[in-house]
Amino acid sequence: MNAMEHLGNVLLILADLHEDDRCDAYVQALEFYNRENPNAQIQPMPGFVTRLQEETPLSRAIAKFK
C-alpha cells in the first residue's frame, strides 16, 4: 500500500466527521486527496455523523458515579 492509498483509507474512516471535530489539517488533507484523485472522491454520507470522543482513566472513573 502506498501513502496515497493509506491517506484515502484514513480519510474514508473520518469522512463523516462532525464539523466541530474537524481541524485545518483534516480539511487540507481531504482537499488534497480529492484534488489528486478525481475518480475516487471522498465525500460524507448525508445523515451520518462521526464524533470524536476522548476517554481517559479519569473520565471512565467519573462516569461510574454519574
Count: domains in the chain: 1
Residue with grid cell 488533507, as numbered in its chain: 29
pLDDT of res. 9: 95
Query: Nearest to residue 31, comparing CAs of 11, 9, 49?
Result: 11
Average pLDDT of the chain, as a whole number:
93
Cell numbers at 61, concatenated: 472513573
Beta-carbon contacts of 16 under 8 Å, excluding residues fewer than 6 positions away, are 44, 45, 48, 49, 50
Q: What is the pTM of this model?
A: 0.76
For residue 54, give its domain range: 3-64
Buried b / exposed e along 48-58 (16+ C-beta atoms within 10 A): eeeeeeeeeee
Residue 24 has pLDDT above 90, yes or no: yes
